[in-house]
Amino acid sequence: MEKKLGIIVSLLIILNINAIGQNLSDFKALLEECGMNVNIPEGFVEAKIIENKDMNYEYAIKYPDKEFELRYAIRPIRYKKYSDETLKNEMESQRPFRNSSYGIILQTIVNNITGGIDYEIKAFDKNAVKKEFNADWGATTFVALKSDFGKGYKYCMIVTIHKNDFADAYYFYLSNTKENFSENEDPLFHTLRFD
């Protein structure tokens, strides 16, 4: 059973079952299918998607004049429409696990992007995460990067939001310094939320 759980978690982390392209228009289409929306403030530019074996993501933005990047990863639990019955059956079979194991999945992501190091994960207040993100659960952690995912950056703050039967969403804020981290992530903190 543990081996099967590990395989499922690994697949969810690395793959987006029905991945859509790497531009804002396609990213918004994916979000719409998951009951989400994004509102990116002016002044940010798209960042190139870096393929890696540790954590795939669907969209990234950065400041044009600072080493500070935000990557978004979306892991749908259900779609509004399915391309075929096989995909629908696969996703529906995983729904109970996905609605109860978001903390385990986040810990596995942390291990993947830090080279196997455990970090403390702090869950958000349930009322606050509902009000701010319209989510059922959320958490954050700050880590030192040691993986292909983090290549070129030293630090990462992860924010995760989960909504039952919709999706898990991950914000990865990347920087080479801890200085001004809060100031840089602040205008981006609420850019993604559930409808």
Which strand ranges, in their side-by-side order, compose the sheet holding 122-123? 45-46, 59-62, 68-76, 167-175, 155-163, 137-144, 122-123
Mean of the pLDDT values across residues 169-175?
96
Confidence band (pLDDT; 50, 70, 90) for 15?
very low
Which pLDDT belongs to residue 107? 94
Mean pLDDT over each residue of the chain, to the nearest integer? 88
Q: Is the pLDDT of residue 42 over 60?
A: yes
Confidence band (pLDDT; 50, 70, 90) for 32?
very high
Contact 170, 159 (CB under 8 A): yes
CA distance 136 to 146: 30
Confidence band (pLDDT; 50, 70, 90) for 14?
very low
Mean of the pLDDT values across residues 117-139?
96
Which pLDDT belongs to residue 134? 97
Tokens of 22: 């790497």
Mean of the pLDDT values across residues 27-51?
92
Residues across the chain: 195
Q: What is the tally of structural domains in the chain?
A: 1
Mean of the pLDDT values across residues 89-104?
89
Confidence band (pLDDT; 50, 70, 90) for 2?
low
Residue 119 CA to its chain's centroid (Å): 17
How many CA atoms lie within 13 Å of 46's alpha carbon, on the beta-carbon side? 10
The domain in which residue 113 lies consists of: 2-194
Tokens of 59: 């969209």
Which pLDDT belongs to residue 69? 96
pTM above the 0.75 mark?
Answer: yes
